Amino acid sequence: MLLRRTASNPLSNIKSFFGSFYKSSPISLLRSSSTMPSKVPMRLVIVGGVAGGMSAATRARRLNETASITVFERGSYVSYANCGIPYALGGVIKDDAALVLQTPQALNDRFNIDVQINKEVLSIDRENHTVDVRAKGSESIQQVPYDKLILSQGAEPFRPPIGGIDLPNVFTLQTIPDLQKIKAYLAEHGGTRVAIIGGGFIGLEVADALHSLGLEISIVEYMPHVFPPLDADLAEPLHAEIRRHNVNLLLNARIEKIEAPGIDTPGRVVLADGVPILADLVIVVVGVRARTSLAEKAGLKIGKTGITVNRFMQTSDPDIYAVGDMIESEHRIAGRALQLALAGPANRQGRLAADNIFGRKISYRGNVGTSACKVFNLTVASVGFSVTSLRQMGFDPLWVIVHPPDHAGYYPGSHPMTLKVAFEKETGRLLGAQAMGTAGIDKRIDVLATAMQAGMTMFDLEHLELAYAPPYGSAKDPVNMAGFVGSNLLRGDVNIIHAEDLKIGQDAAQIVDVRSPGEVSRGYIPYAVNIPLNKLRENVSTLDKGRRVVVYCQVGYRGYLAYRILKQKGFDVVNLDGGYKSVLEGGFKALQTSREKL
């Protein structure tokens, strides 16, 4: 929604739009430096650096050369690439110094920003516009005034309440000091076995990185599958890839305790069922929690998972802004504010907070939650929500799965990908997408993320004009293909069934496998009869028109052609979405007959 100023009362629409957000304040929701005397330099204080804080600080300097800009960072590094830390741990990034993007001196030299590291902001006096600051190792308190304050304290690693969680061989991994502690421990104590508690982004990246060093890796995941943004069927190929690299993957695991290594005994992670996992080193990466204590102590409004802000990054105090992992910001698909711990949104929010402080009334457009992760030889990426999450949120989505090549199949080196796109059944509005493969995955998710930010539908995907040359894509891009299939479904040109809903047995629907006999010999769905597509028309009479027919092929396209033939001959027919490939990849064991059983 856009906010428009009126000639009679330029603040009326803003006040109306945000309702009771500032019930206690008689002033406008937006208060910028334009209301202050121009001869008095603004005092901008930023609590926390890295993505959000430093984006805000440098943008502020570009907008205003005279402002006093001070950044307080409680750690030793104010600007570093924390997303690269797992790769530095595994030696892909050879030098930890490469992670440091800017130093306090460099920021002062180029931007005239006063960066003070190893200093923690203890409290905020909102009435007097001051913050209390204490240097590391000091007892004295420094009182610093501000006109505008930006909070960018990020989130802290969650440490589950497990016995032994504070042992000296148990670490979290979020910062450069965390990285250095793990490296120092390995250098001093050695060890070849690592247990990673948590199978999300960081856990998978750490497993990949440490495996490359020749270490024995175990991943202990509480949930039924790794990488929570995915549906279970899309996570199954990840499980296979992880196990293919001899990583011990434990799902639905409950940890009883962690035991430290002794002089002659290895450390152990003991599961609730009594099974011990040998581990010289334990890395805990089970998510993060927003750092809200400073804001909460100052009386700022806090949501369920982070600080409450408006679209201009203002907290419930119009002179205090907050950005990054510590806030709840609007999710375009959910239609409500959620915490999102991603670097991209944090950077944009920091920039936008500075824009608004210096008079540029630009609202944040919300998130769609775009992410990607390397898992050994696979890339997995997602945007929006999975079908499972959408259902939990009250949606009743449709979805389709396609398995196109990453570029033209006739050009050497093409690889198949899996792309799953969810959408509204009434409008076709895009709700989420998941993709997996060895190449071209990030490109397709980025296109779909852009489409979702623009409010596009499955029908729009049909019409996207995307770059094509044989080494890079196909004339019908995978995103177009998803659009074609989804639009066919919405228009009623096809009716599909998903593997999870397919029932087999003597009394179930007739199942027709339209692949070649050679393909069938490598595996098929039980109770299926093989009628190759090119023979279907002459064998229609062998099918019972009084029973539903399920047709399928390897990836879905020939099944669609079979559907069109049978539908126009009066059959009640559905096509198996994603074909037999989705049955195999998705882990639907009951629907598989292996070659050995033929």
Catalytic site positions: 83
Could you tell me if 415 and 436 are in contact, meaning their C-beta atoms sit under 8 angstroms apart? Answer: no
Tokens coding 237 = 């190929």
> Roughly how many angstroms between the first and final C-alpha of the chain, as a whole number?
60
265 CB-contact burial (10 Å; exposed 0-12 / middle 13-18 / buried 19+): exposed
What value, to the nearest 5°, has the Cα angle with vertex 449 and ends 446 and 453? 140
State the Cα–Cα distance between residues 554 and 580, nearest whole angstrom: 5
Tokens coding 540 = 């229609």
Tokens coding 531 = 């009628």
b/e 44-56 (16+ beta carbons within 10 angstroms → b): bbbbbbbbbbbbb
b/e 543-553 (16+ beta carbons within 10 angstroms → b): beeeeebbbbb
The pairing of strands 418-423 and 255-259 is unpaired
Reading phi first (left if > 0) and then psi (alpha if -120 to 50, else beta), residue 366 is in left
Crossing angle of helices 232-244 and 201-211, in 10° steps, is: 20
Query: Long-range contacts for 84-88 (Cβ within 8 Å, ≥24 apart)?
Result: 85/173, 85/174, 85/175, 85/176, 85/178, 85/179, 86/173, 86/202, 86/205, 86/206, 86/208, 86/209, 87/205, 87/209, 88/179
Reading phi first (left if > 0) and then psi (alpha if -120 to 50, else beta), residue 214 is in left
What is the 8-class DSSP label of residue 71?
E
b/e 468-486 (16+ beta carbons within 10 angstroms → b): eeeebbbeebbbbbbbbbb
